[in-house]
Each structure stands twice: as structure tokens, then as C-alpha cells.
Amino acid sequence: MPSALITGITGQDGLYLAELLLAKGYDVHGLIRGQNNPRRDLVEGLLPDVRLHNGDLTDLSSLIRAMRDSDPDEVYNLGAVSFVAYSWENAPLTTDVTGKGVLNMLEAVRLHSADDLGRIRFYQASSSEMFGKVQEVPQRETTLLWPRSPYGVSKVFGHYMTINYRESYGMHASSGILFNHESPRRGPEFVTRKISQAVARIHLGAQKDIVLGNLDAERDWGFAGDYVEAMWLMLQQEQADDYVISTGETHSIREFLTLAFARVGIDDWEPYVRQDERFMRPAEVDQLIGDAAKAKAALGWEPRVSFPELVAMMVDADVEAQKAGW
């Protein structure tokens, strides 16, 4: 039975990836941080077969211990401070977790597999946020990186460290440059879920309006369930490599609002939306659109869920959750 260790198991992608690997017959281990982590119950309830190990990406000794106790064939490094807006408020912490945490995880893997450095396959959760002030449209694996946030800068560090460990030590280390991917499990701080939750509440009369920042930014949004399959496929290749994972379509926050409100029968959303400086960023990433041709050719990967299907899925799930009183 193959085995895998997932950092960031309590996050959106960690949950989908753990489900996918369990369905494939993996022995799945997850790294969980902190004293009495409030999301431990969620993971244990949803995925009782996953074995949890205490650890923190900023604490190398805990990662070495987790590697020893899980002895995995594959490591998926999904843990991060992942909220871009928060990364300006806590840039040093973001750097420690999202940047240096990758180096710590690579070191833990290297030390654990010193006898055969290609033995453990490593996945790094790189991000389209690394493209920032985009230097090419659409963005591909070779596009110059120009990050615009402490989060983006930290991801660039992790990305190149992953490539460096592959080139220096022959480690099977791959990076997935994933564009935005969403789901009903998306954290409520991210714009798509913030909108789907608010739309559900407005529909049910529990909320009056929603306050947002820049409505003109454009993102290449896909479904998280599709994207975790790409992570797994990358680690099944003989050679480690880097891949853009995206839909190849871009949509504005306004378009997301239009589809989300229409889903509950509201055609004119303007009266329900206010804008506030509070949600504007010191430096914005205006438009992202990815070219996943390499992943399609090499991995046979393609997104399945369309943008309208994604919006409908998220709004419907939040309407159900609100009705159930969650």
C-alpha cells in the first residue's frame, strides 16, 4: 500500500487530496499544528482513516519526527499562510511558514531518505500569485516571476528551493503552479466563498449586503477537486517537473457576483454590494490566466468543472448550509 504525508491537511486542498488518496488505497498521514487545533475534529470526523502527526512547518525537528513516524512514499507540502491580504500584515510569519517552511520540509525529506534521495516523491504547492505583475499572457511555466505580495515572494522562494533540491540532490521534487481553485470548502476569507456565503444569507433574509474591495481583478478560477488530481498525477511521473494548472479562462469579481446572485434569482446585484478601502490591497494582481498545455500533454490533465458550474456549486452548498443552520 503506498503511503503519503500531507501538510496542510486541515485546509481546502488537504481535505480533497486526502479523500482522493484514500480512494486510491493509500495509507494517508497528515501534519497538524498547534495545541488543540480547532480543525482536528473536522479532519477526524470526515477522514477517520487518516493518521495525524503533530508538527509545524516552522519547526524542523517536528517535521523530521513526522517523516520518521509516517515513512511516506509521497509528501505533499500544502501547508502555508495562504491568505494574500493577511501576508502584508504578517510578512515575517508568512515568510517563515510559506517560504522557509518549504525548505524545512525539503530538508526533512532529504534527511529521512539520505540512503536513496529519489525514493520519496515531493510535491510543492506553488502558486499563480508568483506571476503577480504578469510579464506574459497567458502565464506558463517559463513566464518570468514578478510577485506582488509577501505571500507571492515567499512562494517564489519555495518554488526555486524545490527546483534547487531537485537539481542539487536528484530529489523527485515537483512544483504545481496552481491558479486559483475554489470549492464549498474554501475558507470564508477568500473572495469567492465570501460572496457565495453572503449571497446565500441575502437570499434567506439573514444579511443585507456584502462589502468587498476591488471588483475588477480577474482570476483563472477552477474547482479544487479537479486540481488535487493534478498534484497526484505529477508525483506519478518518472521525472519530477513543474506544471501550470489552470482552466485557461479568466473572470472578474463582477462576473462571479453576476452568476452567484443570478443563482438565487437576483439579476441586479449592485444594490447589495458596497466597496470599501479596507479590502483593497497595497499592490494588486490585476489579471491571471494560465496556459496548462504542458500538464495536458504530459499528465493528460484537464479541468472538468466549468466556471458557471463552480459558482452554482458554491452558492447551492452555502444555501443548504445556511438552511441547516451550520
Question: Where do we find the cell 530538508?
Answer: 107
Q: What is the dihedral of CA 23, 38, 81, 239, to 10 degrees?
A: -20
| Per-position b or e across 118-157, b if 16+ CB within 10 A of its CB | eebbbbbbbbbbbbbebeeebbbbebebebbbbbbbbbbb
**Could you say which of ligand F7E, ligand NAP, none residue 54 binds, taking C-beta under 5 to 8 angstroms by partner kind?**
none
Map the footprint of ligand F7E across residues 159-188, applying CB under 6 A.
Answer: 179-180
Contacts of 112 (CB under 8 A, 6+ apart): 64, 67, 68, 71, 120
Q: How far apart, in whole angstroms, are the C-alpha atoms of residue 161 and residue 141? A: 16
List the x/- string, 114-153, binding to ligand F7E by CB under 6 A.
Answer: -------------xxx------------------------
Which among 30-38, 65-73, 246-254, 316-324 is the span making contact with ligand NAP, rule CB under 6 A?
Answer: 30-38
Map the footprint of ligand F7E across residues 210-269, applying CB under 6 A.
Answer: 212-214, 217, 219, 253
Contacts of 94 (CB under 8 A, 6+ apart): 81, 86, 87, 150, 151, 154
* Closest approach of ligand NAP to the CB of residue 154, in Å: 9
Residue whose beta carbon is closest to ligand NAP: 11
Q: Which of 305, 294, 287 is CA-nearest to residue 245?
A: 294
**Could you say which of ligand NAP, ligand F7E, none residue 198 binds, taking C-beta under 5 to 8 angstroms by partner kind?**
none
Question: Where do we find the cell 505529477?
Answer: 234
* Closest approach of ligand NAP to the CB of residue 270, in Å: 27
Map the footprint of ligand NAP across residues 112-171, applying CB under 6 A.
Answer: 125, 127
Which among 76-84, 248-256, 272-280, 317-325 is the span making contact with ligand NAP, rule CB under 6 A?
Answer: 76-84
Q: Using CB under 6 A as the criterion, which residues of the chain lie in contact with ligand NAP when the complex forms?
A: 7-14, 31, 33-34, 37, 39, 56-58, 78-82, 97, 125, 127, 178, 180-181, 187
